[in-house]
Amino acid sequence: MSLHVVVGYGPAGAATARLLAEQGHSVRVVTRSGRAAEPGIEHVALDAADAGRLIEAADGAAAIYGCGAPPLHRWTAEWPALASAVCAAAEASGAVLVGLGNLYGYGPVDGPMTEDLPLAAAGPKGRVRAAVWEQARTLHEEGRIRAVEVRASDFFGPGVTDGGHLASRVVPRLLNGKSVTVLGDPDTPHSWTYLPDVARALVEVAGEERAWGRAWHVPTVPALSSREMVDGLAAEAKTGPVAVRRLSPAVLGLASLFSPLLRELREVRYQFDRPFVMDSSAYESAFTVRATPLGEQFGATVAWWRGRTSAATTGA
């Protein structure tokens, strides 16, 4: 089978690499630190923003998956070089560039988000995410690379830990029947994209020439509020119902004085204070991946967190 290069090994990169390996492909993962090899997966340690070294690592690849990202508070400083290097590797190798995007680039909108909305974000993080795709799209239109972007809402599911709003500060508490605190209005509709569906969509569009040259939204179940998601997880875990409280703006403001991450979240607070709904019908009408049923999402997530907690307790 062909070589596939995955840049980044966070939740999405790891899920994508493992799915590709399961399908029998040769997989090379690029991260700064590297790690021990896994079945079917080679790990290479290098700075992906170093275009020369990334070009070497991607030589002979059929597809490059851009799943890496700088820390949130360094997006504006570090994304441009990383994006340029990934595009350079795609051009040198002839590999299809499959970018993992999010919804920041749209900025606040009224109504469900679709792929034909303008990338009109006013904040720096939204603008830099829009610029990443615009660079790749321009090179695609010039015939220099083949590129596609897959956009997801907030990740949810097995493997999502500190990076998700329904992750380490929420799920372990509800598994113990304790109250949880969430960012923003706990009763406003919000789209949550299931992590395994992200990986499946990335892999699918890599092999679909008719997908290239534009952005697609990952198939995602209808939007639910934070409270509804917590209620569903607690019901699956048989620990609920649990109280769901909003993190007060005063507490958030104080905490942001000491946390770069919380400071950066001020730009995207609108995503949790008002409806934040993604429409994935365009993808679903064109390709085969569908959102995993919500009950399965809850079951797999609870099982994964319980296994993680058990391993931590026993030292396994």
Q: Each residue of 63-109: pLDDT tens digit?
A: 999 999 998 889 999 999 999 999 999 999 999 999 999 999 999 99
Q: Tell me, what's the pLDDT at 248?
A: 72
pLDDT confidence band for 251 (50 / 70 / 90): low
CA separation for the pair 70, 83 (Å, rounded): 11
Mean pLDDT for the stretch of residues 257-284: 84
Specify burial of residue 33 (Cβ count, 10 A radius: 0-12, 13-18, 19+). exposed
How crowded is the C-beta side of 42, counted as CA atoms within 13 Å? 11
The pLDDT of residue 130 is above 70: yes
What pLDDT was estimated at residue 316? 57
Strand partners of residue 171: none
Tokens of residue 272, six digits: 């949790």
Pull the structure tokens for residue 39: 């079945």
pLDDT for the residue numbered 259:
65
Q: 102 CB contacts (<8 Å, ≥6 apart)?
A: 129, 151, 152, 153
pLDDT of residue 37: 87
- For 278-311, give the DSSP string: B--HHHHHHSS--PPPHHHHHHHHHHHHHHHHHH
pLDDT top residue among 168 and 17: 17
Confidence of residue 266 (pLDDT cuts 50, 70, 90): confident
Which distant-in-sequence residues (6+ apart) come within 8 Å of 266 by Cβ?
256
CA distances in angstroms from 74 to 16, 81, 242, 247, 263, listed in the order given: 24, 12, 35, 24, 12
Residue 197 scores a pLDDT above 70: yes
Instruction: Tell which wins on pLDDT, 80 or 261.
Output: 80
Pairwise CA distance, residues 74 & 30, whole Å: 19
Q: Are strands 96-101 and 180-182 parallel, antiparallel or unpaired?
A: unpaired
Q: Is residue 296 over pLDDT 90?
A: yes
Per-residue pLDDT averaged across 271-282, rounded?
96
What's the pTM value of the predicted model, to 2 decimals? 0.94
Which pLDDT score is estimated for 254? 66
The CATH superfamily holding the domain 3-156+193-217 is NAD(P)-binding Rossmann-like Domain (3.40.50.720)
Mean per-residue pLDDT, 2-9:
97
Task: Check residue 268 and give its pLDDT.
Answer: 84
pLDDT of residue 262: 65
Average pLDDT taken over every residue of the chain: 93
What confidence category does residue 15 fall into, taking pLDDT thresholds of 50, 70 and 90?
A: very high
pLDDT (tens digit per residue) in 132-183: 999 999 999 999 999 999 999 999 999 999 765 889 889 999 999 999 999 8
Three-class SS state of 241 = coil
